């Protein structure tokens, strides 16, 4: 990783990424990602926590040239042709591992690349693919409070010029998704509204204990898309500005995204 003596403190971003098609479609959500990208100062590197890398144990992507992983099926050929050739940063991966509690036994994984939870957003935020990217996996055996605690260990990276990017969805129930009617059910908007209110109130404890939130089993029947939010919130600081954008619920997917510490409203 580069010298950090002149590094600019970076914000924290959570993106509700939705369908992989958002990588190649021009819509309100992808346009908002591109607009955000124009406002970001170029970071030294990016640490990405994606819903799409789950593992037993905590892993860090340490490839020098991470491959673009097309970890989906049933989409048009154009989506499989997308490549995001950003460099990796094994030194940053090792640095992150050193910041974590040794009891987590973090491991470096030089074989993993960039999954679509990462690159489908990054193609819009940093289309030149010239910023090194390291991914951190999610160990689903751990409760929300432990994920939040892991996130807390990473906050100092912001002062080293590292952008922390979390990618998931606050509401994510593909089993009940209605492609013909994007009108969200009442429980989906209620869950999104409750989470938004808790974010605004700074009640991160309630958010970490998401199993106690009403409608959680409908909104997040599996936790992997919700957990990245906890990493983003864990890296927040007193005085950070909060911006919510793409605050839509499409059927049973919440596209709600947030930026912490951008400094000023758009």
Domain boundaries along the sequence of the chain? 12-260
Tell me how long the chain is: 266
Please give the structure tokens belonging to residue 20.
């992989």
Maximum pairwise Cα distance, the chain? 53
Mean pLDDT for the chain overall: 95
Partnered with residue 250 across adjacent β-strands are 253
Count Cα atoms within 13 angstroms, Cβ side, for 31.
3
172-226 pLDDT, tens digit per residue, is: 999 999 999 999 999 999 999 999 999 999 999 999 999 999 999 999 999 999 9
Residue 6's pLDDT band, with cuts at 50, 70 and 90, is low
What is the reported pLDDT for 51? 98
77-90 pLDDT, tens digit per residue, is: 999 999 999 999 99
Per cent of the chain over pLDDT 90 is 95
Nearest alpha carbon to residue 225 among 16, 20, 12, 30: 16
Count Cα atoms within 13 angstroms, Cβ side, for 225.
26
- Rounded Cα gap, residues 252 and 174, in angstroms: 7
- Rounded Cα gap, residues 161 and 36, in angstroms: 17
The CATH class for the domain spanning 12-260 reads alpha beta
103-112 pLDDT, tens digit per residue, is: 999 999 999 9
Count Cα atoms within 13 angstroms, Cβ side, for 85.
1
119-139 pLDDT, tens digit per residue, is: 999 999 999 999 999 999 999
pTM of the model: 0.95
What is the reported pLDDT for 7? 80
* Residue 43 near residue 193, CB atoms below 8 Å: no
- Rounded Cα gap, residues 167 and 228, in angstroms: 6
Statement: residue 255 has pLDDT above 60: yes
* Residue 126 near residue 76, CB atoms below 8 Å: no
The DSSP element (H or E) to which 117 belongs, if any, is helix 116-125
């Amino acid at each position: 990783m580069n010298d950090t003596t002149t590094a600019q403190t970076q914000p924290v971003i959570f993106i509700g990424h939705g369908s992989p098609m958002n990588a190649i479609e021009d819509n309100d959500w992808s346009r908002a990602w591109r607009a955000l990208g124009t406002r970001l100062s170029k970071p030294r590197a990016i640490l990405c926590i994606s819903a799409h890398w789950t593992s037993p144990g905590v892993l860090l992507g340490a490839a020098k040239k991470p491959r673009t992983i097309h970890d989906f099926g049933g989409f048009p050929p154009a989506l499989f042709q997308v490549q995001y050739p950003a460099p990796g940063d094994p030194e940053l991966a090792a640095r992150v591992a050193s910041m974590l509690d040794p009891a987590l036994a973090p491991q470096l994984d030089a074989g993993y690349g960039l999954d679509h939870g990462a690159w489908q957003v990054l193609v819009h935020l940093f289309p030149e693919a010239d910023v090194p990217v390291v991914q951190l996996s999610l160990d689903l055996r751990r409760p929300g409070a432990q994920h939040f605690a892991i996130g807390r260990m990473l906050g100092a990276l912001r002062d080293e010029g590292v952008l922390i990017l979390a990618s998931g969805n606050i509401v994510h129930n593909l089993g009940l998704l209605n492609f013909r009617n994007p009108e969200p059910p009442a429980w989906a908007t209620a869950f999104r509204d409750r989470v938004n209110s808790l974010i605004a109130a700074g009640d991160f404890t309630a958010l970490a204990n998401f199993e106690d939130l009403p409608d959680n089993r409908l909104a997040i029947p599996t936790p992997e898309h919700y957990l990245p939010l906890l990493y983003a919130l864990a890296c927040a600081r007193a005085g950070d500005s909060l911006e919510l954008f793409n605050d839509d619920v499409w059927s049973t997917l919440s596209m709600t995204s947030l930026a912490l510490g951008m400094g000023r409203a758009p």
